[in-house]
Amino acid sequence: MSPLPGILKGLITTARTALRPTHTAEYPDVAPELPPRSRGVIALLEENCTSCMLCARECPDWCIYIDSHKETIPATTEGGRDRQRNVLDRFAIDFSLCMYCGICIEVCPFDALHWSPQFEYAEVDLLDLLHEKDRLGGWMASVPPPPALDEKAAEPAEIAAANRPARGAGLAGGAGGAGGSGPRMPRTVRPRAAGSPRPDAGGSSPAAPSPPDAGEASP
């Protein structure tokens, strides 16, 4: 069997492929178009961190290191009590151990950690992948803004709680409110027995007579 048909098939495939547009990514000359939820590097918003240690405890790789100390804030009013707050001394992430699972970002209750699409932080030395809080804070400039909410989405819980009227505010001018101008509810008046004095006539009112037994005939 002549090898010519096989060569012709290969040439036809080559010619067909050569006419198609190329999909080669000219990196690093051309920056790639990353999806909006890319996981590049973790950025730290230091002013939101309260040193609660929740991210460090939930990290499966134990690659987050946090050090803090307590600081006493004097009372602002006379007779008030002094308050204490945690001051962040160190916040570091070892990206040589990080598995980019995003658990630390999800469990942070104060939105101190965010995903940044930046991924160009390769190092020659493995120890340089330990990013301290100053370098983590520098990644915040590359964090994209959050996407807009859907028009048909439910109102966020914190906004709904802020717009909810205070408890008891609607009862101030309603029925039974102190000093309210609303209509007063009628009082229930129990019937008095025949011949019994009025309670406000002086003295205590006599007890109501007990009902007759089932075996006695009613007059």
Domains, the chain, ranges and CATH? 31-72+83-142 (3.30.70.3270)
Residue 3 pLDDT: 60
**Cα–Cα distance measured from residue 26 to residue 30, given in angstroms and rounded to the nearest whole number:** 5
Average pLDDT along the chain, 219 residues, taken 10 residues at a time: 73 86 83 86 95 95 95 87 91 96 95 94 94 96 85 82 74 49 53 56 50 50
**Cα–Cα distance measured from residue 109 to residue 14, given in angstroms and rounded to the nearest whole number:** 56
Residue 177 pLDDT: 46
Residue 172 pLDDT: 53
Q: SS3 for 8?
A: helix
- DSSP secondary structure letters along 18-85: HTSPP----TTTS-----TT---EEEE-GGG-----HHHHH-TT--EEEEEEEEEE--SSTTPPPEEE
**Cα–Cα distance measured from residue 175 to residue 191, given in angstroms and rounded to the nearest whole number:** 25
Residue 137 pLDDT: 96
- Judge if pTM exceeds 0.85: no
**Cα–Cα distance measured from residue 49 to residue 63, given in angstroms and rounded to the nearest whole number:** 17
**Cα–Cα distance measured from residue 188 to residue 177, given in angstroms and rounded to the nearest whole number:** 18
For the chain, how big is the Rg over CA atoms in Å? 38
Residue 10 pLDDT: 85
